[in-house]
Amino acid sequence: MEKLLVRGKKRLVGEVNISGAKNAAVAVLPAAVMCSGVSVLENLPDIEDVACICTTIEKLGGTCTYRDSHTLEIDCSKGIAYSATFEEVERIRASYYFLGALLARYKKAEVAMPGGCNFGKRPIDLHLKGFRALGATVIEEDGVVKAYADKLVGTSIYMDQVSVGATINVMLAATMAEGTTTIENAAKEPHVVDTANYLNMMGANIKGAGTDVIRIKGVSELHQAQYAIIPDQIEAGTYMIAAAITGGDVVVNNIIPKHMDSLTAKLEEMNVGIEERDESIRVTATHPLRGIDVKTMSYPGFPTDLQPQMAALLSICVGKSVLTENVWENRYQYMDELRKMGAKVDVNGRVATIEGVPHFVGAEVSATDLRAGAAMILAALAAEGETIIDGLRYIDRGYENVEHKFNAMGADIVRI
């Protein structure tokens, strides 16, 4: 099994180019199967989750052809199957978007229950509630979600909880429903907006994505479109925190700085230097940095997907920091791994209290999930000595060329 060997205490200096957003790509790709023509998607990240969704599309009967390493042509014009119950579907969480997409196009969909990172209960009740409100009959049988409708009819849907997945999934289904659907208490994440923009380019009529009320006037068909995925907010944030944790000087390129506001505010509070440009941010840091409090929230709040990386940084800041995880019930499993490297953390439910230590020490640790894996790399970069990280399959799911991007800025990371 592959592992990463990281030799620590290397200051990162240089530039890094951010790839297309994983969580946008894994929603936009299933949306492409709704179109009866050929779609072209640009700026797709070269990561395992994207490969997995492409395999799903091909197994359904579509074709995926790369024009170059980041531009993909998707052809579902001859029609595809509505039943996705094979292994790839179970591997990743975002497979649930095939439910909304296939239900929109065929008014029937069968999709195996999705897997993905494990941080407590990950229900999809709000997705199913939304499909039912649109007129579908939904049942769960032998690990497969089955949804059928004679027709989908627009309606008003209030999300009991802000959910990225449920907002996007219901938006997909409502795009080809009869009449108007209103989603209230919608998620506002950049990937919700990106999916709506792509659907609109295919001829959908969606207004309000990025606010908490989305209005969708159903259309009967979607036409082909060419679309570029937005930059990855979480990958960008990971490299920004990497600059801070190594006392480095890094320009993070190809980003939308506005998406980084909640992180830049927190880094500035810690005394990290931030210089915002049109499509990049320069991050400079001189240790010691100050411990602070961070609460995760849905966008535009501080993203839960940067919580583990931030915990690594706070572990070597001066003083006490308090992290509050408001999105997932159990996203601190990685703390045991950070402790192996010398972090002093006390976890009580959703609150983690971190006492800063002067430095990490290298150890053998595991990536317990995707962002936890990113946190291990960051801690290892700042650590004295060598760190070996296993569980690479998680990291490869969401970070393109991870060791190459870090090594180009002076890190010493080898895949062994």
Residue positions annotated with a catalytic role: 117
Cis peptide before 288 (omega within 30 of 0): yes
Q: How many residues bind ligand EPZ (CB under 6 A)?
A: 26
Assess contact for 315 and 354: CB atoms under 8 A: yes
Q: In what order do the strands lie in the sheet with 108-112?
A: 83-84, 108-112, 144-148, 137-141
> Which residues does residue 227 pair with via DSSP β-bridges, in sequence order?
41
Contacting range for ligand EPZ; rule: CB under 6 A; set: 122-130, 218-226, 236-244, 260-268: 122-130
Tell me, what amino acid is at 35?
Answer: C
8-state DSSP, 367: -
Give the angle subtended at the CA of 195 by the CAs of 39 and 257, to the nearest 5°.
Answer: 115
Q: Is 330 in the site for ligand EPZ (CB under 6 A)?
A: no
**Shortest Å distance, C-beta 163 to ligand EPZ:** 3
Tell me which of 165, 237, 248, 308 binds ligand EPZ, using CB under 6 A.
165
In b/e form, how buried is each residue of 25-57, taking b as 16+ CB within 10 angstroms?
bbbbbbbbbbbeebbbbebbbebbbbebbbbbb
Query: Rounded to whole angstroms, what are the CA distances from 38 to 28, 63, 200?
Result: 14, 10, 15
Contacting range for ligand EPZ; rule: CB under 6 A; set: 32-40, 79-87, 160-168, 202-210: 160-168
Q: Measured from the CB atom, is 234 or 285 closer to ligand EPZ?
A: 234
Would you call 320 helix, strand, or coil by DSSP?
strand
Q: Measured from the CB atom, is 41 or 251 closer to ligand EPZ?
A: 41
- C-alpha span between 335 and 296 (Å, rounded): 16
Q: Measured from the CB atom, is 181 or 224 closer to ligand EPZ?
A: 181
- C-alpha span between 389 and 373 (Å, rounded): 8
Contact code string over 24-43 relative to ligand EPZ, x by CB under 6 A: --x-----------------
- C-alpha span between 317 and 25 (Å, rounded): 34
- C-alpha span between 96 and 102 (Å, rounded): 10
Q: Is 94 in the site for ligand EPZ (CB under 6 A)?
A: yes
- C-alpha span between 341 and 323 (Å, rounded): 19
Q: Is 400 in the site for ligand EPZ (CB under 6 A)?
A: no
Assess contact for 323 and 354: CB atoms under 8 A: yes
Assess contact for 144 and 111: CB atoms under 8 A: yes
Q: Is 124 in the site for ligand EPZ (CB under 6 A)?
A: yes
Contact code string over 273-312 relative to ligand EPZ, x by CB under 6 A: -------------------------------xx-------
Q: Is 172 in the site for ligand EPZ (CB under 6 A)?
A: no
Q: Is 393 in the site for ligand EPZ (CB under 6 A)?
A: no
> CB nearest ligand EPZ: which residue?
165
Contacting range for ligand EPZ; rule: CB under 6 A; set: 119-127, 315-323, 386-394, 405-413: 119-127
Q: Is 10 in the site for ligand EPZ (CB under 6 A)?
A: no
**Shortest Å distance, C-beta 33 to ligand EPZ:** 17
Tell me which of 56, 163, 224, 315 binds ligand EPZ, using CB under 6 A.
163
Contacting range for ligand EPZ; rule: CB under 6 A; set: 104-112, 161-169, 207-215, 284-292: 161-169
- C-alpha span between 416 and 364 (Å, rounded): 13
Contacting range for ligand EPZ; rule: CB under 6 A; set: 63-71, 104-112, 164-172, 262-270: 164-172
**Shortest Å distance, C-beta 274 to ligand EPZ:** 23
**Shortest Å distance, C-beta 200 to ligand EPZ:** 20
Q: Please list, in sequence order, all residues whose beta carbon lies within 8 angstroms of the beta carbon of residue 390, skipping any fewer than 6 positions away.
A: 1, 3, 364, 365, 366, 367
Tell me which of 175, 371, 403, 409 binds ligand EPZ, using CB under 6 A.
371
Q: Is 117 in the site for ligand EPZ (CB under 6 A)?
A: yes
Q: Measured from the CB atom, is 47 or 251 closer to ligand EPZ?
A: 47
- Tell me which residues touch ligand EPZ (CB under 6 A): 22-23, 26, 93-94, 117, 121-127, 161, 163-166, 187, 304-305, 327-328, 370-371, 398
